[in-house]
Amino acid sequence: MDSIRIMIVDDHTVVRDGLSTMLGRQGEFSIAGEVGNGVEAVKRYRELHPDVVLMDLRMPEMDGVEAMRRIKEEDPEAKFIVLTTFDTDEYIFDAIEAGAKGYLLKDASREELFQAVRAVYRGESLIEPGVAARVLDRLAQLSRQSGQRVNTEGLSEREIEVLKLMASGSANKNIAGALSISESTVKTHVSNIFQKLDVSHRTEAVTQALQRGIIKL
């Protein structure tokens, strides 16, 4: 199996070196490159085409959010994990809007980082629990404030039940147990939800469902 090629973007050399050493020791990962600012990240991404980018947010010349936006314009399939010390709402929502599928704070454990890289590489998302809770809280607030009419987008009652459990953070196995259905059936419902909402991962599905008033927290 080929290793997951990672590009590290951080303006602190010590951080880059530490991440490179830690990830490089795992046989499933390899370091495609290391850069120290957003401008260089955009340039090197074109050359390296890494599988996953670990992106800091505050950097000189160009910040991580703008770098992600520019890379996404050239490669919509680019996969980002934000690794930062900042957990303010402004940074969180700007990063997710720019295309981050993972959001971890720099005090995350080694295994949390490894899990995030694997998940984002597979096309999934992994957001630090405290950050995810704030995202859902904000979206719920926006949903209540909007007062928009509920539009189920053709979702069945069962699919809406699955969505509600997804919003609570339940994994497929737990959803299956809660609804007394098989895990494969849950996967089918999730796939149908993605198609009907025109999304590609769970966080985006929950976000769209809250914004459209399909579910509420």
Domain-wise residue ranges, the chain: 4-127, 134-211
Q: 120, exposed or middle or buried, with CB in 10 Å at 0-12, 13-18, 19+?
A: buried
Distance (Å, rounded) from C-alpha 172 to C-alpha 193? 13
Same fold, 4-127 and 134-211: no
Please write the tens of the pLDDT for every residue from 140-161.
665 555 544 445 668 888 888 9
Please write the tens of the pLDDT for every residue from 177-214.
999 899 899 999 999 999 888 888 888 888 888 888 88
Does the predicted model carry a pTM greater than 0.75?
A: no
CATH of 4-127, one of 3.40.30.10, 1.10.268.10, 1.10.3720.10, 3.40.50.2300: 3.40.50.2300
Residue 136: its pLDDT value, please?
66
- Check whether domain 134-211 has CATH 3.30.70.360, yes or no: no
| Cβ–Cβ < 8 Å for 201, 209 | no
The residue that leads in pLDDT, 89 or 168, is 168
